[in-house]
Structure 1
């Protein structure tokens, strides 16, 4: 049996699990889970609940097979640190308290821009890791998109020399302006659709970028090209989030090739570093437009846990960054946001 199939049997060994529970532990793409589940059902290893809900369990044949599988993978013994949730980083309590206070009235996600934010501690842990790598203190930092309000987390430390947020969402600009006024921060906001190139005063002007690109190949190339264009040169660094849920390893391979062409080398990948909380995002309405709902035949069955997560990448320039997209980009919204793997991306007309 191929590895994805054996991992799924291992996950189900101790009893039924919801699809959302499986997805929260699944190391491959949503589409690969669907294909694996269909194959194991057809071969008689697993069954869905009788009412076509989200519960999945082993058949007798599957239970017998699972007993012979080594305890490994997502259901093996967990050796990660419970105190830091495996991150190897400590978030100062003073940061946590202030960040929670300042982001309490943050703008909620809208489908039009494929928005969503991670847990507060995960945003703060990003800053802690960036600082450990020498990319925060006395650095000029640009954030291309900032649903997670990492700009505020950076400002709380007082360490960066300059913080600039580039985003198409004017609501974010208004929110950051209010926080600046109340807290004395100097977070700059520049409204921009990144299909347009960066203005000259933001080109080759930063030591560090942070972004969470859309996960189509054209969209990733566009986001990272703009990010690369922002960097000053050799030793400048960048950070971005990327899932395996909507970006298979085949896609990761293509994305790594793009990074190499841009003179960016991956120095670190922190697996499943960021989790996106269902309750705080209040995006229940998005689910009706997710392609995965009909693919799994689970329309109307909302998650019973936080399941969407991403890994955190660090890249560093080995020479002058070479963005592969320089001028205006003519990608449509469909081309930018959707492909055969982006199955948990909302349609822009969701209200």
Structure 2
């Protein structure tokens, strides 16, 4: 993926990078460009406007393109294979329809808590990926926070032995309690808990899988709570590398994860897609973002799903290097 950097590169270089993306992938809508350029909407759309004004790219309806690019391109074909949002079967579409019904009347985002809801399609893809990875069947799953309602998606899909949500937002807590009560969900537990506080004793070693989506200010304490919650051999899912984040933030996240003893096993780009928030774009940029017919395609930025397991620990590193990595044979 080509990554544009509107903070450090001149406008001409940004336009050239956008043209390169469109030559590689062919005609694209704004959601496609947000995924492929790995930018947030407030970064991408000014570059797009400049490229339109310069004549480097063109627009027809909701699609942007470079005139000489044929369709489909190899990269466009690859998108259908590797983008988890590209193709849903009938059962998945039915789960998404039901999730949309259940999400009606959900609590609003708390902007002051840096909450941003992901699309409901993203909320559904999370537990589906756990099934693909073998982390679902007969497993105890814990969500540390779930304003995105992925616990409801996991319940609809089924297969987990139990689902627990630890939630600090009282409005989200009450919404989940009522929703699961209406669903007669006996294997789901909702509990008030702030991840910045110590974990209650009865929750230690209680989960096979932990998932969370914290802001960058909170990921260290969420890492700590996940370690305490997980049983040996468990898996930890979170989301990192938002398309608008600087390289320094990604570097620090990776260093902190290693320092905490985690081993990265999976990295799936563009699985998390954050829903568009009205009122954040300039009038000109808004004009260049024709809203897609599918509400789940109205996105602002994307994130990468990452899966961790516990490593052997720093104490074992010297022995590992001596017996495996540093041998001459």
The TM-score, its normalising length taken from structure 2, stands at: 0.69
SS at match of 2:137: coil
**Per-residue deviation, 1:155:** 1.6
Asked if 1 retains the 8 angstrom alpha-carbon contact of 2:146 and 2:167, the reply is: yes
**Per-residue deviation, 1:114:** 2.0
- Select 1:57's aligned residue among 52, 67, 70: 52
Asked if 1 retains the 8 angstrom alpha-carbon contact of 2:40 and 2:302, the reply is: no
When residues 254 and 132 of structure 1 are mapped into structure 2, their CA distance, relative to the original with a 3 A threshold, is same
**Per-residue deviation, 1:146:** 0.7
When residues 127 and 23 of structure 1 are mapped into structure 2, their CA distance, relative to the original with a 3 A threshold, is closer
Partner of 1:51: none
The TM-score, its normalising length taken from structure 1, stands at: 0.66
State the distance in 1 between where 2:228 and 2:302 align: 27
What does the per-residue CA deviation read over 1:198-226, in whole Å, with 9 as the maximum and x for residues that have no partner? 22222222111111121x3x422222222
Show the 5 A alignment for 1:1-351: 4=4, 5=13, 6-11=16-21, 23=34, 25-27=36-38, 48=50, 56-57=51-52, 59=54, 77-81=76-80, 85-86=85-86, 92-186=92-186, 187-214=188-215, 216=216, 218-233=217-232, 235-278=233-276, 283-285=277-279, 287=280, 298=282, 302=286, 304-305=290-291, 306-307=298-299, 308-319=301-312
**Per-residue deviation, 1:141:** 1.1
Structure 2's unaligned 5+ residue stretches are: 5-12, 58-65, 292-297, 316-329
Count of aligned positions: 282
SS at match of 1:57: helix
Structure 1's unaligned 5+ residue stretches are: 38-45, 49-55, 288-292, 323-351
What does the per-residue CA deviation read over 1:50-95, in whole Å, with 9 as the maximum and x for residues that have no partner? xxxxxx43647x68xxx9x999xx9954422279645799863443
State the distance in 2 between where 1:315 and 1:79 align: 26
State the distance in 2 between where 1:107 and 1:189 align: 16
Q: CA RMSD in A?
A: 4.1
Asked if 2 retains the 8 angstrom alpha-carbon contact of 1:12 and 1:57, the reply is: no
State the distance in 1 between where 2:257 and 2:136 align: 22
Asked if 1 retains the 8 angstrom alpha-carbon contact of 2:96 and 2:124, the reply is: yes
SS at match of 1:236: strand
**Per-residue deviation, 1:29:** 7.0
What does the per-residue CA deviation read over 1:319-340, in whole Å, with 9 as the maximum and x for residues that have no partner? 4799xxxxxxxxxxxxxxxxxx
State the distance in 1 between where 2:302 and 2:147 align: 15
State the distance in 1 between where 2:314 and 2:151 align: 23
State the distance in 2 between where 1:28 and 1:181 align: 39
Asked if 2 retains the 8 angstrom alpha-carbon contact of 1:140 and 1:206, the reply is: yes
State the distance in 2 between where 1:18 and 1:81 align: 15
Partner of 1:344: none
Asked if 2 retains the 8 angstrom alpha-carbon contact of 1:90 and 1:125, the reply is: no
SS at match of 1:232: strand
Asked if 1 retains the 8 angstrom alpha-carbon contact of 2:143 and 2:166, the reply is: yes
Asked if 1 retains the 8 angstrom alpha-carbon contact of 2:141 and 2:210, the reply is: yes
Asked if 2 retains the 8 angstrom alpha-carbon contact of 1:89 and 1:125, the reply is: no
State the distance in 2 between where 1:3 and 1:151 align: 32
**Per-residue deviation, 1:112:** 2.4
Asked if 1 retains the 8 angstrom alpha-carbon contact of 2:34 and 2:302, the reply is: no
